[in-house]
Amino acid sequence: MIAIEPSILAADFTRLGDQAREAEAAGVEGLQIDVMDGRFVPNITFGPGVVRALRPLVGLTLDVHLMIVEPERYLADFAEAGADRLVVHQEACLHLHRVLQSIHELGVQAAVAINPGTSPLVLEEVLDLTDVIHVMTVNPGFGGQTFIHSQVEKIRGLRQMLDEHGQDIPIAVDGGIDSTTAPLVARAGATVLVAGSSIYNSKASVAENVAALRASVT
């Protein structure tokens, strides 16, 4: 079963609540909230306040992608604001195992993201603490970037690694996901599609874009 998570990074910020509701009405499984600090990535976006504002509007999984240095500083704030899952970057954690333990102690799901230059092997020692592995198919920081095709083989290798470990951990992909690239990553083993531009930045409606994305992997 493929899950679709629109990224609000590409949404119309003047009507974020409506865009979240439109995504829910379109039948998506979650909402990706891209948090950026201007240090881990060269862009600045949202804080816990946006999660708090969206929480009462939708019943979707709020998947908070922390593209920030030292994410351990803000885990409790985002959990308290209503996040269902916190995604930390392996590259941003000096003590990844401890950070994942801390997320679980807050009662929310823990996901680990890896950038295009990072091997999945860095995750081998934390699989038992990982609810979702988030593979970046662009370098993080901005929406609307070009999909990095080399990551398809990484996803395939990661799926094999997880199977060898007997771990049925979902693989999420994030960056340049549309009806053309989604089948490539789905065939390689990804089951969570994070998509911003292909859902919010096109002439068609959110519902039509979600339906097209889902049809591309069905």
Number of residues that bind ligand DX5 (CB under 6 A): 23
Interface residue with ligand DX5 among 24, 37, 63, 174 (CB under 6 A) is 174
CB of 125 to ligand DX5, least distance (A): 25
Interface of this chain with ligand DX5, residues 90 to 129, rule: CB under 6 A:
none
Cα–Cα distance, 179 to 52 (Å, whole number)? 31
Near ligand DX5 by CB under 6 A: residue from 145, 179, 191, 202: 145
- Shortest gap between Cβ of 50 and ligand DX5 (angstroms)? 14
Q: Closer to ligand DX5 by CB, 31 or 158: give it.
A: 31
Within positions 63 to 92, which residues make up the interface with ligand DX5, using CB under 6 A? 65, 67
As measured in angstroms, the least distance from the Cβ of 5 to ligand DX5 is 9
Find the shortest distance in angstroms from Cβ 44 to ligand DX5: 12
Beta carbons within 8 Å of 56's beta carbon, 6+ residues apart? none
At 134, phi and psi to the nearest 5?
A: -110, 105
**Upper half-sphere CA count for residue 133 (Cβ side, 13 Å):** 29
> For ligand DX5, which residue of 34, 155, 188, 214 counts as binding (CB under 6 A)?
34
Which of 7, 45, 151, 216 is in the footprint of ligand DX5 by CB under 6 A? 7
144 lies in the site for ligand DX5, by CB under 6 A: yes
Residue (136 or 158) nearer to ligand DX5, CB = 136
Whether 12 sits among the annotated catalytic residues: the reply is no
84 is annotated as an active-site residue? no
**Structure tokens that stand for 40 in this block:** 């881990």
Q: Which amino acid is at 15?
A: R
* Binding region for ligand DX5 (CB under 6 A): 7, 9-10, 32, 34, 65, 67, 138, 140-145, 174-177, 194-198
Q: Which residues are catalytic?
A: 34, 174
